[in-house]
Structure 1
Amino acid sequence: MLLPIAEVLTQKEVKQFRAHIDNAPWQDGKLSAGSQASFVKSNQQLDDSNEITQSLSNTLLHRLQTHSTFVSATLPFKFYPPKFNRYQNNGSYGLHVDSSIMTTPSQETIRTDISATLFLTDPDEYEGGELMIETQYGAQEVKLNAGDLIVYPSTSLHEVKPVTKGSRISAFLWVQSLVKNSQQREILFELDQSIQVLTMDRGADDAEVRRLSGVYHNSIRQWSEC
């Protein structure tokens, strides 16, 4: 499932993030690339050990853990905490698949089921820099407003096109979901969205709302890995 989520951060919050990022140290993005990705990666990343980076990462992680649409779409079990990158001067990230298993800074091992990118620059601030994601319907081009997030399967081939003018700044992270199968997650997301609409329309005590809620939770119970 390829899902954009608007306004995860407000414009005021984006400006605050950007102000902090401007005072944080950047380093070569290849330092965190896998053996294959290092050949196609040309960008910069904030130093993960820096206090500013850690504070921004924790703030964003807390926001996502409490964001109803994000939680509904990903059913998170474990997170690889948000990192921050910058593309400029023709920087790009060639076609690749994210590593299947990662070790977090706290030395916790996670399986990467879902990737997410939060845009921190608006499209008119840079040229190029499209996130291209291969799907069963062909390549999809993503270039969202600052504060918006895109969620997509970590199994997808994807790339960041060269940034030919300006700078593209983003946050990115990975999720290990309670439900490993992406098709099952998509079914659960659609069901949950319908339940929310029906609850607003009919009320939580409606018999059909309760029935669908039971189907939803029993499906998670059947498909969950924990």
Structure 2
Amino acid sequence: MVITIADVLSPVDVQDIRSTLAAMRFEDGRATAGWSAKLVKENEQAKEGPALGLLRERVSKAILSNVVFSLAARPKALTPLLFSRYGGGQHYGTHVDNPLMDGIRTDVSFTLFLVDPDSYHGGELVIESVSGEEEVKLPAGFLVAYPSTSLHRVAPVTRGERLVAVSWAQSYVRDSARREMLFDLENAKRGLFATSGKTPEFDLLAKTSANLFRMWAET
């Protein structure tokens, strides 16, 4: 399941984060790529340090507190956020994410956009699936999450600068199809409650949703 989530960060938060990043040093992004991905990765990432630690904590907290992200990803843990920028001509070729990062199994990949799409040309996140390719380029403060098993790439930036935060979640529910079923059930349950209240039908949906999560959850 590929899902876009609006307003994970407010415009004020986005501006503040951009100002913080503007004062930080960046380094070659290949330092965090796997051995084959290094061949196709060309970007920069914020350099490790106290300021980066505080920024990671702030943004991770905003992501984990987002209800839609929580229901879609069922996150157990996040890897440390990477703040990446792409200037003119920079890109990230086709690759699949490492299955383990910092001791965390990567089930869900996500990108949080930090600049508006009209401020740069190119730089689309392209996610491959059996139905074709899906291009994603979202407003600042919006997030896209997708299965880490997917091949994907970042198209070359031809003008301006692409600035994003990326990370990976280990989910309580390893299987992407099961996560999607739980997400659909939760939306159906909440929609029924909004229209009809706590009915016997709602209780059955709530029971089924909870018991499937209990059956599939890995703790």
Q: What is the TM-score normalised by the length of structure 2? A: 0.97
**Helix, strand or coil at the partner of 2:181:** helix
Aligned runs of 1:141-160 on 2, under 5 Å? Answer: 141-160=135-154
Q: CA deviation at 1:81?
A: 2.2
Instruction: Give me the whole-angstrom Cα distance separating, in 2, the residues matched to 1:196 and 1:56.
Output: 33
Q: Give 3-state SS (helix, strand or coil) of 1:93's partner.
A: strand
1:90 match: 89
Which residue does the alignment assign to 1:190? 184
Partner of 1:167: 161
Match of 1:213 among 193, 197, 206: 206
State the Cα deviation string for residues 90-120 of structure 1 (Å, max 9, x = none).
00000000000111xxxxx111000000000
Task: Say if 1:73 and 1:189, in contact at 8 Å, map to a contact too.
Answer: yes
Amino acid at match of 1:102: M
- Code of the residue aligned with 2:200 in structure 1: it is A
Question: What is the aligned length?
Answer: 219
Report the equivalent of 1:28. Answer: 28
Indicate the percent of aligned positions where both proteins have the same amino acid: 41
Q: Matches of residues 45-124 of structure 1 in structure 2 within 5 Å? A: 45-47=45-47, 49-103=48-102, 109-124=103-118
State the SS of the aligned residue for 1:141. strand
Whole-angstrom distance in 2 between the partners of 1:50 and 1:199: 46
SS at 1:146 equivalent: coil
Residue identity matched to 2:88 = N
Q: Is the CA contact (8 Å cut-off) linking 1:24 and 1:50 kept in structure 2?
A: no
Equivalent residue letter for 1:5: I
Cα RMSD after superposing both structures = 0.9
Q: 1:201 Cα shift?
A: 1.9
Q: What is the CA-CA distance between 1:31 and the residue it aligns to? A: 1.0
Q: Structure 1: which 5+ residue stretches go unaligned?
A: 104-108
Indicate conservation of the 8 Å contact 1:117/1:171, yes or no.
yes
Unpaired segments ≥5 residues, structure 2: none
| Equivalent residue number for residue 17 of structure 2 | 17
Q: What residue identity is the alignment partner of 1:18? A: R
| In structure 1, C-alpha distance between the alignment counterparts of 2:131 and 2:51, rounded to whole Å | 40
Give 1:64 deviation, angstroms.
1.6
**Large movers: runs of 4+ above 6 Å:** none
- In 2, the alpha carbon distance for the partners of 1:21 and 1:64 equals 18
**Partner residue, 1:137:** 131
Name the counterpart of 2:8.
8
Q: CA deviation at 1:7?
A: 0.9
Deviation at 1:178, TM superposition (A): 0.6
Q: Structure 2: how far apart are the matches of 1:206 and 1:58?
A: 40
Q: TM-score if structure 1 supplies the norm length? A: 0.95
